[in-house]
Amino acid sequence: MKLKYILPILFISLFNIACSSDDDTPIINEIEDLLKVQDIINNTHTIELYTKSGMFYTGYNEVSIRIKDNTNDAFFENATINWMPIMQMMTMQHSCPKSSLTKAEGKDTVYTGFVIYQMTNADGSGWSLTFTYTINDVEYTVTDTINVMQFDNQNVTSFMGSDDTKYIMVLIEPDSPKIAINNLKVGLYKMESMMAFPVVENYTITLDPRMPGMGNHSSPNNTDLTYNIADGMYNGDLSLTMTGYWVLNLKLLNEQGIVLKGEDVTEANTQSSLYLELEF
Amino acid sequence: MKKLTILGVSLLFSTLTIAQETSTIKEQDTTKLEEIIIIGRRKLSNYRQEKTLSSIDDYLEKSNRITMIKRGNYAWEPALNNMVSDRLAITIDGMQIFGACTDKMDPITSYVDVSNLEKVVITSGQEGTENAHSVGGGIDLKLPQSTYYDSGLKTSIDLGYETNGNYSVGGLDIEYSGNKFYANLDGIYRKSDNFEAGNNEEVLYSQFEKYNISFQGGYKLSKSHVLDANIIYDRATNVGYPALPMDVSLAEATIVSLKHTYKSDSARIKSWESKLYFNTITHIMDDSKRPDVPIRMDMPGWSDTFGFYSKATFKKDKHNLLFNFNGFYNRSLAEMTMYPNDTSQPAMFMYTWPDIRTLYTGLYVKDALALNEKETISASIRLGFHNNKIAEEAGLESLQIFYPDIEDSKNRFLISTSANYELKHKAYDATFGLGYGERAPSVSEGYGFFLFNSFDNYDYIGNPTLKNEKSLEANIKANYYFKDFKLGIESSYFHIMNYIIGEIDESLSPMTIGANGVRVYEGLNYANIFNVYLNSTYKISKKVSLNGTIGYNHGKGSNDENLPLIRPVTYLAEINYSTSNFNAALQLDGNSTQNKYSSNYGEDKTPAYTILNLNLGHSFLLKDNKIILKYGVENLLDKNYSTFADWNNIPRQGRNFYLNISYVIL
């Protein structure tokens, strides 16, 4: 009777010992905690795209990239990579804000950057990614279509300011919001042309988070967002008093303090025309 | 109405002018400012007669100093000296136990029933700090003592019915008392529909159902050593709270204790009692029975307490010393989940009590020194260490939204001390007392997170940075005896510094839909609370007696605002007829208009009221068994009224006929 219980335990422990003895030379997995979005392949190389979720969504996407040699399945450590996302529309095409791609800190084969898709088609189609990269002074290029899914909440917004400039604003942090004072990080870009989206510096973004489901409940100790030269983004404190659906009501002010977009939340006006959404 | 008042006042004055002493069920030990309510269920009484199956709440309400705050027909919250549970030390036979409801819907007294208890000891102010620090006083609900009479088995059956609310009660009590072994098992079941206020006005959501089972076992190890074990299980379901936006689907408590008692007549140590205990409470608020709510929500809460005490009494020369070393560890956790009307949005969650751990250890010492036959002085001190810790990281972070600099742990040292002088003569006795005491903020006051108070319609935020509340008090109690007349006065004055109360913070946005705003607990510079009661009894003949009481209370803060829940002028007059196996009493009970209400804290002017009650009791033997019959009419004139202590002015019970039968099989 007792043997019935002891035997499986014995087997399990033996099995564990057997397994663990294999791990003498641990191989560092450079893509740990990342999921592959897709491979983009040309004749010589395979470009592997990774994100945390294994998908591209509208809004801010942190992307990790490896380039594999198709001949020997080895990853290059000395590439210089440029990329260009393009949205093909009926009559025109445009790009979106993005960073450059640089070698990930502490890794040999992984290059990282971010891309901010401001919109997508309902079925996720329309976007393509072109990589132009140099390995050992030889330039290669590869292009493929990608799928960008619409994120449930408004985590990115593009709008026309009162200065007749088109801006793109994106929520970057909190990545996993908490009932606490969260660090709110927002990116702000100017649409200079269809292909150029430079960072807008030294503006101010006021913040008023609300819960429409709770009679537009707000929270204390929020701070306005100010520009941080170090990361080229806007940072502030965001207090979230409970989990649920939050609307971050915002106002964008330029260096002279002139409101370019957004209104105060009042009894009559329950939401600013400039806002981002958050759910947790 | 006017006639009633005149009748009342004249009854009162008649007792004041012509006077006499009667025995009362309230044993009043004048050596302390203490009042003991005996839960003498199956005895006839000639003072504020109670039903056999009264709730604990009904018993407590008979004390002058206690008022019961009502949010419905169940689980009333006791207030002592016009102070509620945060300022009181409410214990079950020395055991710390804390409600699990953030909205005070489950005072400790709701987790015990009359069948569990022998008596209630009420001590005012710093005299009430034997078990814990308090400002207002202590209420200790005493469990029965095991007895070793070798009297064998005794069974009692209690049945009760009340017309108002179709309220029925049943109880069974089996007791065995041997030479060395004692056991008692009892159960009580109560069920009531919605009650009706005066003029047949049904009060919706006032129903409740509960049962309570308890077991006590004792074993006499030797002549002077006894071991006792006690288990109480109490479960209330479907409890309506007409004054609140939510009801309770479950309020459940398990209270367990193990006690060792040493007693000696000869040695210097007169008694030494040590107890280990544990209690756990689950409280689930629910609004599923309410048709219209702005948002659906669940609000469960849990409170677990482990603790011990060890107390000993010594006698040496003229000194009577009492030491009580005790400690407890409590865990209070409550959460709220709200379900948005827009179902595409996710549920909203927060910790309303973010897993607060309270650790307390302290020592209480009291010495009573008899100066001579007539004079006694006594002094007591309690020193304690109190620590609060926020165990839930998310809870700490959520409170840091309001208090960015707080840490997860806070230590406090507390001191409570009192001194009394007592004088006893044949014709009069008097006690004068002075006290100074401190208390730590309660879990809600220190750490509550958006606790909605439907009384003033504000959300409350706890304040972990609160200072200790400190109280200076003076009290006097005197009785004068003249033949069959007794006249007594008792009065207390409290000057409370850092008086903890919610203050409006305009900058904060309420969470509860429809709330007026947010209050944060702050320490008011000071507040003064004063009360005085005049009691008189007069025995007209051997069978007929009169009792009368009139009381005045006052409470004001340093901001010149009236404090909330301060009782207006109150009076009670009673005429009694009693023989050994029959009694009858007609009672007149009332309050004056509440003129000094606190509009700032959501109160409005409560009109005066007077009600009449008629109580009758019989006891007789049937063969060898005893039958006790108690019956009567409460609110005889079917007055529709509410008192200052009724949450959101919900009305009190209208006319109610009741009948309680107890059958004791000896």
| A218 contacts B345? CB cut-off 8 A | no
Find all residues with CB under 8 Å of B317, minimum gap 6, and list them.
none
Nearest CA in chain B to A218: B509
**Scanning every residue of chain A, which has its alpha carbon at the shortest distance from the alpha carbon of B506?**
A220
Of the candidates B345, B350, B404, the beta carbon closest to that of A242 is on B350
pLDDT value at position A23?
46
The DSSP call for residue A137 is T
In angstroms, rounded to a whole number, what is the distance separating the alpha carbons of residues A90 and B68? 74
How far is CA A32 from each of CA A52, A110, B56, rounded to the nearest angstrom? Answer: 10, 11, 63
A181, A212, A218 ranked by CB distance to B509: nearest = A218
Q: What is the pTM of this model?
A: 0.88
CA-based radius of gyration for chain A: 23
**Residue A211, min C-alpha distance to chain B (Å):** 9
Query: Which residue in chain B has the smallest CA separation from A220?
Result: B508
Of residues A51, A99, A39, A100, the one with CA closest to residue A75: A39
Indicate the class that CATH gives domain A35-149: mainly beta
* Predicted local distance difference test score (pLDDT) of residue B1: 46
Instruction: Find all residues with CB under 8 Å of A174, minimum gap 6, and list them.
Output: A182, A183, A184, A185, A238, A278
DSSP string, B562-584: BPTT----EEEEEEEEE-SSEEE
- Using a CB–CB cutoff of 8 Å, tell me whether A213 touches chain B: yes
Cα dihedral A71/A76/A81/A83 (nearest 10): 50
Nearest to B401 among A220, A244, A280 (CB): A220
- The CA-atom distances, in angstroms, between A62 and each of A58, A98, A219 are 12, 10, 29
Q: Which residues of A touch B397 (CB under 8 A)?
A: 178-181
Best residue in B511, B513, B516 for a mutation probing chain A (most A CBs within 10 Å): B511
A140's tokens: 């290669």
State whether B294 and A221 contact (CB < 8 Å). no
Angle at B344 between CA B343 and CA B347, to 5 degrees: 65
pLDDT value of residue B90: 95
Helix (H) or strand (E) holding A7: helix A3-20
Residue B453 and residue B518 in contact, taking contact as beta carbons nearer than 8 Å: no
Q: State the smallest CA–CA distance between residue A207 and chain B in angstroms.
A: 15
Cα–Cα distance, B368 to B462 (Å, whole number): 40
Domain ranges of chain A: 35-149, 156-279
Residues counted in chain A: 280
pLDDT averaged per 10 residues, chain B (length 666): 49 40 35 66 62 81 87 93 94 96 94 90 92 95 90 92 96 94 95 95 96 96 94 97 94 97 86 97 94 91 97 91 96 95 91 96 95 93 97 92 94 96 92 96 96 93 96 95 92 97 93 92 96 94 93 94 94 92 92 92 93 92 88 95 93 95 88
Is A178 in CB contact (< 8 Å) with chain B?
yes
Q: Say if CB B146 and CB B182 are below 8 A apart.
A: yes
Cα B283 to Cα B84, B120, B453: the distances in Å are 20, 24, 17
Which of A180, A213, A216 has the CB atom closest to B342's CB atom? A213
Q: Residues B461, B465, B470, CA angle at the centre, nearest 5°?
A: 100
Which CATH fold would you assign to the domain A156-279? Immunoglobulin-like (2.60.40)
CA dist., res. A66 & res. A111, Å (int): 6
**Chain A residues whose beta carbon lies within 8 Å of the beta carbon of residue B345:** 213, 244-245, 279
Residue B360's H or E segment, with its range, is strand B348-370
Contact A242 B510 (CB under 8 A): no
- Note whether A213 contacts B347, CB cutoff 8 Å: no
CB contact under 8 A, A241 and B400: no
Alpha-carbon gap: B403 to the closest alpha carbon of chain A (Å): 9
A-B Cβ pairs (cutoff 8 Å, strict) = 87
Whether residue A146 is predicted with pLDDT greater than 90 in this model: the reply is yes
Task: Write out chain A residues lying below 8 Å of B514, CB-based.
Answer: 215
ipTM above 0.90, yes or no: no
The answer to whether A244 contacts B349, with C-beta atoms less than 8 Å apart, is yes
**A241 touching chain B per CB within 8 A:** yes
Number of neighbouring beta carbons within 10 Å of residue B113: 27
Four-CA torsion B311, B312, B313, B319, nearest 10 degrees: -90
Instruction: Tell me if A241 and B511 make a contact (CB, 8 A cut-off).
Output: yes
**Do B75 and B154 meet the contact criterion of CB atoms below 8 Å apart?**
no
Distance from CA of B322 to the nearest CA of A (A): 48
Protein fold of B2-18+25-143+162-665: Maltoporin; Chain A (2.40.170)
Contact B632, B658 (CB under 8 A): yes
Which of B293, B296, B298, B348 is most worth mutating to test chain A (most A CB atoms within 10 A of its CB)?
B348
Q: Determine the residue type at B179.
A: N
CA–CA gap between residue B604 and residue B595 (Å, rounded): 9
What region, left, alpha or beta, does residue B199 occupy, with left being phi > 0 and alpha being psi -120 to 50 degrees? left
More confident residue, A8 or B128: B128
Chain B residues within an 8 Å CB radius of A240: 401
3-state SS, one letter per residue, for B65-91:
CEEEEECCCCCCEEEECCECHHHEEEE
pLDDT score for B18: 38
Q: How far apart are the first and last CA of chain A?
A: 49
Cβ atoms of A83 and A98 within 8 Å: the answer is yes
| Token code pair at residue A54 | 């294994």
- Residue B395 phi/psi, 5-degree rounding, is -70, -45
Decide: helix, strand or coil at residue B510.
coil
Q: Does A217 touch chain B (CB under 8 A)?
A: yes
A35-149 against A156-279: fold identical: yes
Neighbouring C-beta atoms of residue B458, cutoff 10 Å: 24
B227 bridge partner residues: B219, B260
**Comparing B462 with A14, which gets the higher pLDDT?**
B462
CA atoms of A189 and A201, how far apart (whole Å)? 9
pLDDT in the model for residue B13? 44
Alpha-carbon span B286 to B245, nearest angstrom = 9
Dist CA B351 CA B391 (whole Å):
12
What are the phi and psi torsion angles at A212 (to 5°)? -60, -30
- pLDDT at position B380 is 96
Interchain CB distance below 8 Å, A179 and B294: no
First to last CA, chain B: 47
Q: Does A154 touch chain B (CB under 8 A)?
A: no
Strand, coil or helix: B340: coil
Location of structure tokens 């209270």? B255
Nearest to B377 by CA among B299, B433, B449: B433
Asked if B398 and A241 come within 8 Å (Cβ–Cβ), the reply is yes
pLDDT in tens, A92-136: 999 999 999 999 888 889 999 999 999 999 998 999 999 999 999
CB contact under 8 A, B401 and A244: no
